[in-house]
Amino acid sequence: MNKKQPVVYPYIPNSEPSIKQQMLDEIGVASIEALYEDIPEALRMKQKMDFPEPFLSEPDLVRHVEELLAKNATCKDHLNFQGAGCYQHFVPAVCDEINGRSEFLTAYAGEPYDDHGRFQALFEYSSMMGELLEMDVVNVPSYDGFQAAATSIRMACRLTGRNEALVCGAISPDKLSMITNYCLPDISIKKIAIDQVTGNVNFSALEKAISKRTAVVYFENPSYLGMISIDGTELTEIAHKHGAECVVGVDPISLGVIAPPVEYGADIVCGDIQSLGMHIQFGGGQAGFIATRDEEKYLMEYPSRLFGITPTSVPGEYGFGDVAYERTSFAIREQGKEWVGTASALWGITAGVYLALMGPQGLAEVGEIIMQRSHYAAIQLATIKGVESSTFDGPYFREFVVNFDDTGKTVAEINAALLAQGIFGGKDLSQEYPELGNCALYCVTELHRQADIDRMVAAVREIVQ
Amino acid sequence: MTQDIMKFRYTDGKPNLRRFHQARWDEPIIFELSQQGQRGVLLPEAESEIKEIVGDILSTIPETMRRKQLPALPEMSQAQVLRHYLRLSQENLGADLNVDIGQGTCTMKYNPKVNEQLARLPGIAEIHPLQDEDTVQGILEIMYQFEQMLKEISGMARFSFQSQAGSQAIYTCTAIMRAYHQVNGEADQRDEVITTIFSHPSNAACAKVAGYKVITLYPDEDGYPDFNALKEAVSERTAGLMITNPEDTGIYNPNITKFVKVVHDVGGLCFYDQANANGILGITRARDAGFDMCHFNLHKTFATPHGCGGPGGGAAGVSEELAKFLPVPVVGWDGKKYFLDHNRPDSIGKIRSFYGVAPVILKAYAWVMSLGADGLREVAEIAVLNNNYLLKKMLEIPGVSAPYAEGKPRKEQVRYSWQALYEETGVSSEDIGLRAADFGLHYWTSHHPFVVPEPNTLEPTESYTKAEIDEYVAVLRQIADEARTNPEFVKTAPHNSTVHRIVNHDPLDKPEQWAVTWRAYRRKLKQHEA
């Protein structure tokens, strides 16, 4: 290529010199520089930006990025037992087909008239989540499960006019950090410890802490450590007895087998939908949901978009639009509820596709298969001398805590040895939950075959003995 | 004889307007398609040995905590699900199919397909965020290198990509502002944040969530934020200024350093909302104007798709002094390998789970690597060229104006006003937008409140050809003509879109009627019938 020729960039059609000139003539200026005349000289960048040489041709770019990505080991070529908030579940091909569609992928803030499809798809997503949760209001997705929990807590504080939140049982320390940050400076977040036997909420600690100042009792089911709550009703009752709202965090993929929280008295339900058809993507597939009963006082506290169904001027035609838009920051800036903006709509559409493909039977089956496989893995690990698995009493879903105290090896050492055999061992909990000892959080989903589990167990056995 | 079809497609050498009709499948709600017993996918059953060993696993869940009734989800075969969603996708215009210059402030540029392909490779789609650092060197390198690029573009010292979108990055910066004043022992005293009405609503809203009282500056008669009002607003209570430049009007404020100085003089911090950065890449930098913090939207300036409203990517950048407050972790390089630096005692903590939207960061990185320093500057220059060309053409339409800074060039966008047309014909900016849908074009009014009456914000970006920009203008000219000759036709639009106008807004605003889910709708319908 002749270096003297200016580059005509494929993404910048009017970089072609003759068109550029034609447009300048039309505007009536001599150069593009004239269009920047109001930026003071002192603020102008004098030097050219210091960037690496670009890959102007598409094949070169592809080669470059492929080479970088080749430095990553993947959960396709390794056996993965890590979860802790990001889960490797089955992603049906149709989910990827739909979220890769140009029309959905590249749309943004279209009106119900030009982007009718996204309104209907997101209304349907909310509707299917509503069936899973047995609740009548579900938002257009917020950023992630962290945000959904933090906003649910803020909603509960506004509803009660109180400013103390009790976060009970096992929760991701990262999530707790985010919630604490998000609730500053006006809400105090108090952590209620876990029961060392059941791994669930420490009931007496909760009873001691709760008072008339408490706005919200928050707990997760299953918890961060995988435990299924066995006393949901007691927890919601204690919250209600003190005039507090009860917020329950769930992973919707568990709701084919675990009761929806509304059944045991939850007021607000929230969580992450990544399990419903999103690839793990180094944590890029997260998206949050918030659900409540259909009462004005709840609905008006949502910061999120809520898409509602409505007739149009043509009989029999479904139309959609924003419900109670005037509560949002789009409408009234800082007077609105928190804020609304770009969040995770495409993952909401994808989760809708997932739920439609799975159907009622699929959801029930996936829940049972996950429980079968995870319990099998825990049972097999427990056969290794010095390994305790699962460390808590009670049922668990997908994840369980494995203690290696009596093996004489740290989780880090075990995981390094597993990695050498192509296995990503469970998440090391020794920093986050030092009181549990030398523990790891193992995650087993419907994708783990018996042979995969057996291979991991054999590797652990060999490493610790 | 070969018929000349083309001659009917042009008038006076110019192409006729498109005879567009959007797909209208009249698609049912998904629950209506359900048929008992249908399956969309099947799952791998647990092996018989597993079943034998674990037994009746569901019985380990206490009765009260077990699901008793299957969720009432639709039951559909796979192709049926696919068809339903493909139809919905066709009923969605999306940016790829239209000259999407009608959503000003949102930088609807081309999202290269090659980047989509790359982001779906297993090397990014199938990596877990908790993998050993040694096994994710590729993505860490991308994050680290992309940070160096944003540092060069902005002059800032460090960036975090943990935010999922622009507003979350704005919130990150308000949290950093709060932490900074906390460390200085001034958090209680400094309880006010100043912003402008032509900055995105999230600046005001995020500051409010972070605990601040919000003071909003309005434009002076030239369209710049009122400097005298700023001088009156600042005090020992000022925590900071959150401002956009150019603002939503596309007018660059040349006195921006004076604004920054006034706020710094009273001990406040200055945050630069750079959602509107597309026209100034490589031209002028946030840090050089004295700002302490800034943010970019990867789904705007850096060409990643908007996904119907996310996931996007927010990049929050800060000065050296504020770097210690950034969310954990940040990506470091120790001379041998890339690592996640969690050891940051002054950090505000987590803003989002894990490290942000990794595939979006990858796409933004790939986009910059496809352009380089010269290409990025070309992006800015052509975005500004296109915008001023569009401005020239728009102002030739009777009934439209571009308030403020008359005769001066704008940067990447312009907030227009159809007030004159409205007064003449009764056709509003919103009506024009609904009619634009009939031509396969998206059109947006503006953020509330409408300080510019009957507003419409257009941002042509660098992505569209001159002919495409001409087409958009020709459609608006046609609609303005229709407003004069047949206003009723415009006011009842759209006519060629998927659906027709919603005339009664009660089902969206009245608690006894609104329905956010199908189950709520069915329930309210039944109540109404009873």
List A residues 158-177 in contact with B (Cβ-Cβ < 8 A). Answer: 172, 174-175, 177
To the nearest whole percent, how much of chain B has pLDDT over 70? 100
Parallel/antiparallel/unpaired status of strands A245-250 and A288-292: unpaired
At residue B528, the pLDDT reads 87
Which of B88, B333, B443 would you mutate first to test chain A, the one with the most A CBs within 10 A? Answer: B88
List B residues 181-240 in contact with A (Cβ-Cβ < 8 A). Answer: 187, 201-202, 204-211, 214, 216
Asked if residue A1 has pLDDT above 60, the reply is no
B466 touches A: beta carbon within 8 Å: yes
List B residues 84-103 in contact with A (Cβ-Cβ < 8 A). Answer: 84-98, 100, 103
Q: Find the mean pLDDT for residues B180-190.
A: 97
For residue A208, give Cα distances in angstroms to A168, A170, A216: 12, 18, 15
At residue B492, the pLDDT reads 97
CB neighbour list of residue B450: distance below 8 Å, 6 or more residues apart: none
Minimal CA–CA distance to B172: which of A366, A157, A147? A147
Contact predicate A244/A213, CB 8 Å: no
Which of B87, B127, B379 would you mutate first to test chain A, the one with the most A CBs within 10 A? Answer: B127
DSSP state of B28: P
Burial of A438 (0-12, 13-18, 19+ CB in 10 A): buried
Taking only the tens place, the pLDDT of each residue in B333-366 is 999 999 999 999 999 999 999 999 999 999 999 9
Contact predicate B53/A76, CB 8 Å: no
Question: How far B5 CA lies from chain A's nearest CA (Å)?
Answer: 28
At residue B161, the pLDDT reads 98
Read off the amino acid at residue A187. I
To the nearest whole percent, how much of chain B has pLDDT over 90? 99
Asked if residue B84 has pLDDT above 60, the reply is yes
CATH architecture of B128-370: 3-Layer(aba) Sandwich (3.40)
To which residue do tokens 């479904």 refer? Answer: A318
CATH of region A79-89+365-464? 3.90.1150.10
Q: Find the mean pLDDT for residues B274-294.
A: 97
Nearest CA in chain B to A110: B442
Q: Find the mean pLDDT for residues A267-278.
A: 98
Minimal CA–CA distance to A109: which of B433, B22, B255? B433
Which of B85, B352, B431, B503 would you mutate first to test chain A, the one with the most A CBs within 10 A? Answer: B85
Instruction: Name chain A contacts of B370, Cβ cutoff 8 Å.
Output: 11, 54-56, 58, 61
Asked if residue B190 has pLDDT above 50, the reply is yes
Asked if residue B277 has pLDDT above 80, the reply is yes
DSSP state of B283: T
Nearest CA in chain B to A107: B94
Q: Which of these CATH numbers, 3.40.640.10, 3.30.70.360, 3.40.630.10, 2.40.110.10, describes A93-354?
A: 3.40.640.10
Taking only the tens place, the pLDDT of each residue in B209-245 is 999 999 999 999 999 999 999 999 999 999 999 999 9
Taking only the tens place, the pLDDT of each residue in A11-29 is 999 999 999 999 999 999 9
ipTM attached to this prediction: 0.98
Which of A4, A11, A201, A250 would you mutate first to test chain B, the one with the most B CBs within 10 A? Answer: A11
Taking only the tens place, the pLDDT of each residue in B419-433 is 999 999 999 999 999
Indicate the average pLDDT of chain A: 97
At residue A3, the pLDDT reads 56
**How many Cβ pairs within 8 Å bridge chains A and B?**
722
pLDDT band at B8 (very low <50, low <70, confident <90, very high): very high
Is the four-CA dihedral A130, A135, A139, A143 of positive or negative sign?
Answer: negative
Question: How far A401 CA lies from chain B's nearest CA (Å)?
Answer: 16
DSSP state of B50: H
At residue A79, the pLDDT reads 98
End-to-end CA distance of chain A: 64
Nearest CA in chain A to B107: A108
Beta-bridge partner residues of A227:
A396
Nearest CA in chain B to A17: B382
Q: Find the mean pLDDT for residues A233-246.
A: 97
Domain ranges, ordered by start, for chain A: 7-45, 79-89+365-464, 93-354
CB neighbour list of residue B258: distance below 8 Å, 6 or more residues apart: B227
Distance between CA atoms of residues A345 and A107, nearest Å: 10
Q: Find the mean pLDDT for residues B6-33.
A: 96
At residue A5, the pLDDT reads 82
Domain ranges, ordered by start, for chain B: 30-61+73-90, 128-370, 500-530
Contact predicate A102/B86, CB 8 Å: no
Question: How far A211 CA lies from chain B's nearest CA (Å)?
Answer: 24
User: Exposure pattern of A302-319 as b/e (b: 16+ CB <10 Å)?
Assistant: bbbbbbbbbebeeeebbb
